[in-house]
Structure 1
Amino acid sequence: MARNKTTSRSKRHLIAKKDPKSPITEQYRTIRTNIQYASVDQAIRSIVVTSTGPMEGKSTTTANLAVVFAQQGKKTLLIDADLRKPTAHYTFQLPNTFGLTSVLTKQAELMDAVHMTDVENLFVLTSGPIPPNPAELLASVSMEYLLKEAYNLYDFILFDTPPVLTVTDAQVLANLADGSILVTSSGTTDRDGAIKAKEILTSAHAKLLGAVLNNKKADKDTHYYYYYAEH
C-alpha cells in the first residue's frame, strides 16, 4: 500500500511535473510500480482510470500517473475518454478542436490528433468535440482500431473515463484495456457505492488492479492517497 500526500489545492495540478522530487510524486511512482507488477502473466500496457462518482480525483490521478510513466522513459499516451466532462485539455493547456471523437468518427488520423506536451515522452489525445452518443462511440469498432494503432505507437496508454456508477463508458473501455483502477474519495464515496462499482467492472470482464483512496485525513493538515493492488 502506498501513501500520497496532497492538499485540496492540488486538485488537477500536475504535481508530478511541477515537483518531481516531492513525496506526493514519489507515491505516484509507487502506484506506477504496483501497476507494473500487478500481473506476472502479461505486461500491462493500457489502464482505464474511473471513479464511483464525480469529484473523486480520477482525472488528477490519471494525469499524474501519465507524467510518472513518461518520466520513466515510457512513451505514454493519455486519452481523455470522458466524453461528457473532459478535463485533459484544461490540465495540459491544449486545444480541443480535434481529439478522440474526431478519430473515432474518421475526421482525423490518430497521429494528427495527438498533442505533444512539455513533459518528455508524454502525449495527450484530448476528447475532441463532445458527441451526443459517447457510449456508442467508445463501443465502436473504430475504438478497437484506435487502441491497436496506439499499441504500435506508444509504450503505455491511460484512459480517463467517466464515473462507473453514472454511465456505461468506463465498462466499455475496461473490457478493452489490460487493467482498470477505481478512484474513490474518503468522506464522499460510500462503501455500497464502491462495492457496486467493483461489481460493475467485474461483470464487464475488467481486470480491476486496485483502488486509489483520495482525501483520507491522517491529521488536521495532511491528506493521503492510498493504493492497493488485487492479485
Structure 2
Amino acid sequence: MFTKKKRPMQTVARKLVTKYNPKSIVSEQFRTVRTNINFSMPDKELKTLLFTSSSPGEGKSTSAANVAIVFAQEGKKVLLVDADMRKPTMQYTFRTTNTTGLSNLLTKQWSLEEVTKVTDIEGLFLMTCGPIPPNPAELIGSKSMDVLIQELTAQYDLVIFDTPPILSVADAQILSNKCDGTILVVNSGTTEKDSVIKAKEALTSAKANILGTLLNNFMLEKDHYYYQYYGTGE
C-alpha cells in the first residue's frame, strides 16, 4: 500500500524538478533557459510566452511548468495557462482539479478570479484547461482570447501558455501569433528532423516570434563540466 501511494508523488517530483530538487543539474538548466529568455528580447518586455512541440510526448508541458516555476522563483508574478484544450495535463502535474478553467473563461461562464488557482509555489498561479470544448481552435482565435490576454498581462508579470503540438492541430499556430515569444520543445533522440523543420515553418508562417528551441531529455556525459561543478544534484 505504501508503495502505491508514493508513486504519484515521485512522478510529480520528476516533472516539477525545479520545485522538488532545485539544486539538480536539470533545475540549473531550466534556470539557464530562463536567463536566455530574459536576454532574448532586450528592446521589448516579454509578457506572454508560448510552449509547443512538433509532436505529442516531447515534454512541452513539463518544460512549460518548470520554466514557470523558475520565473516565479526569480520573483515574478507568473500565470501558467493550460491552453491545450485537446489533451490537458496541468491538473495532473499540479495535483488539482480541472472542473473550471480557460474554456469557461473564453465562453464567459466564469470570471478570471474564479478559474485562477493559487499554487504552493510563491508567485506562481495556475489556470487549468477546464471542460474540453468542441471548438478549441475557434476559441483560441476569438476576440475573447485577445481581450483575455490584455487582462492577464495587466495582472501578471509573465503569462505562459502550454499549447497542443503544432503539427497536430492549429491551436498553437493561432496563439503563437498573439504571444510575445514562442519556445519549440524538441525531444532529444526521438523527434524527427523533418518534423522540427515543419514545426518551425508553421510558426514562421504564423509570424510567431520564435525565441529558441528547448532540447529535452538530453543525456550529459559523466565527465561533462556540469557534473564536475554541480555533482550529482542530490
Equivalent residue runs for 1:142-181 within 5 Å: 142-181=144-183
Task: Say whether residues 1:52 and 2:36 are aligned partners.
Answer: no
User: C-alpha displacement at 1:25, in angstroms?
Assistant: 1.0
SS where residue 29 of structure 2 aligns?
helix
How far does residue 219 in structure 1 lie from its aligned partner after superposition? Answer: 4.3
Q: Which has the higher helix share?
A: 2
| 1:79 paired residue number | 81
Matching of residue 114 in structure 1 with residue 99 in structure 2:
no
1:102 equivalent among 101, 104, 109: 104
**How far apart, in 2, do the equivalents of 1:207 and 1:191 lie?**
21
> Gaps spanning 5+ residues in structure 2: where?
1-10, 227-234
Instruction: Give the TM-score normalised by the residue count of structure 2.
Output: 0.88
Name the amino acid aligned to 1:86: P
Cα separation, 1, equivalents of 2:93 and 2:67: 13
CA contact (8 A) 1:46 1:178 kept: yes
**Number of residue pairs matched?**
215
1: distance between equivalents of 2:52 and 2:14?
A: 15
Measured after TM superposition, the shift of residue 217 of structure 1 is 3.1
Secondary structure of 1:94's partner? Answer: coil
Q: How far apart, in 2, do the equivalents of 1:115 and 1:149 lie?
A: 16
CA deviation string 1:62-105 (max 9, x = no partner): 00001001111100000000001100111011111110000000
TM-score (norm. length: structure 1): 0.89
SS in 2 for 1:64: helix
Larger relative strand fraction: 1
| Residue in 1 that maps onto 2:192 | 190
Aligned to 1:90: 92
- Report if the CA contact (8 A) 2:13-2:20 is conserved: no
SS in structure 2 of the partner of residue 157 of structure 1: strand
Match of residue 126 from structure 1: 128
1:67 is paired with a residue of what secondary structure? helix
Q: What is the DSSP-based 3-state SS (H/G/I as helix, E as strand, rest coil) of the residue aligned with 2:110? A: coil
- Report which of the two structures shows the higher radius of gyration computed on alpha carbons: 2
- Percent same amino acid among aligned pairs? 54
Q: Distance in 1 between matches of 2:188 and 2:123?
A: 33
Matched residue type, 1:70: A
User: Counterpart of 2:76 in structure 1: which amino acid?
Assistant: K
How far apart are the structure 1 equivalents of 2:59 and 2:154? Answer: 30
C-alpha RMSD over aligned residues: 1.9
Matched with 1:207 is: 209
Task: For residues 21-70 of structure 1, give each alpha carbon's deviation from its aligned partner in whole angstroms, at most 9, with x where no partner exists.
Answer: 22211111110010011012211111100000000000100000010011
Q: Does 1:140 align with 2:142?
A: yes
**What secondary structure does 2:42 align onto?**
coil
The residue matched to 2:104 in structure 1 has which SS? helix
Q: What SS class does the counterpart of residue 137 from structure 1 fall into?
A: helix
